[in-house]
Amino acid sequence: MTDTPQSPAKPQEHGWLDDGHALAIGVLFVSLGLIMFAHVGLLTGGVAGAAFLLHYALGWNLSWCFFGLSMPFFWLSWKRLGAEFTLKSVVSVVFVSLCTAWAPKVVRFELIDPWLACVLGGFLIGMGLLALLRHHASVGGVNILAQWLQQAHGISAGKVQMSVDVVVVAIAFMVLDPVRVLQSIVAAIIISAVLVLNHKPGRYLGV
């Protein structure tokens, strides 16, 4: 007697409470990681990395740079990923920008070592992005491009993120001390590794 093959588990839809909880966690984790990076003079990849470069090189406000650079990518999001993903991502970007702007009033990291900041901040940002992506959201920019490429062409979102991060961090050699760039590279690898290992097509059943 042969066993009857079992049909694959049907994905369980996320409810609004699930999404709200995940977006809050994702926004707070990403914001806290970015705050750590800014305090010790590190940067990350993607749009956030470009915002850091403008902040360090020209003294522009980090929150406004991040918000402004993220906005153009939402056209792609609206056209290719739909209204739900776009609206959730806009909300996430707005709140990450607000959290980083308000951060100096509520949290300080005077004693944190840059190496600890790059590791801990990298894991926080990586897990924050993972929480957002698994609930059909992002923090804009390259995350939108990476999510679309994974959904449309099966290209790993983590690998796309890592490729762009390498370019941004390489440009940082013109702006930052080489040790800070090395620490930023370590942080970028940690962030991308979290996504590469945990955000794969077909692995997560919740949608």
- Domain residue spans in the chain? 17-198
Q: Which contiguous run of DSSP H or E holds residue 58?
A: helix 46-58
Do residues 29 and 139 lie in contact, with contact meaning Cβ atoms separated by under 8 Å? no
What does the radius of gyration of the chain's CA atoms come to, in whole angstroms? 18
- pLDDT in tens for each of the 207 residues of the chain? 445 555 455 556 666 677 888 899 999 999 999 999 988 988 887 888 888 888 888 888 888 888 888 888 888 888 877 888 889 888 898 898 898 888 878 888 778 899 999 999 999 999 998 898 888 887 877 777 877 888 788 887 767 877 887 788 788 888 888 999 999 889 888 987 888 787 655 555 444
Distance of CA 114 to the CA centre of its chain: 20
CA end-to-end distance (rounded Å), the chain: 36
Name, in order, each residue with C-beta under 8 angstroms of 163's C-beta and a sequence gap of 6 or more: none
3-state secondary structure of 11: coil
Do residues 114 and 41 lie in contact, with contact meaning Cβ atoms separated by under 8 Å? yes
Q: How many CB atoms lie within 10 A of CB 89?
A: 27
The structure's pTM equals: 0.79
Name, in order, each residue with C-beta under 8 angstroms of 79's C-beta and a sequence gap of 6 or more: none
Q: How many CB atoms lie within 10 A of CB 69?
A: 19
Q: Backbone dihedral region of 107: left (phi > 0), alpha (psi from -120 to 50 degrees) or beta?
A: beta
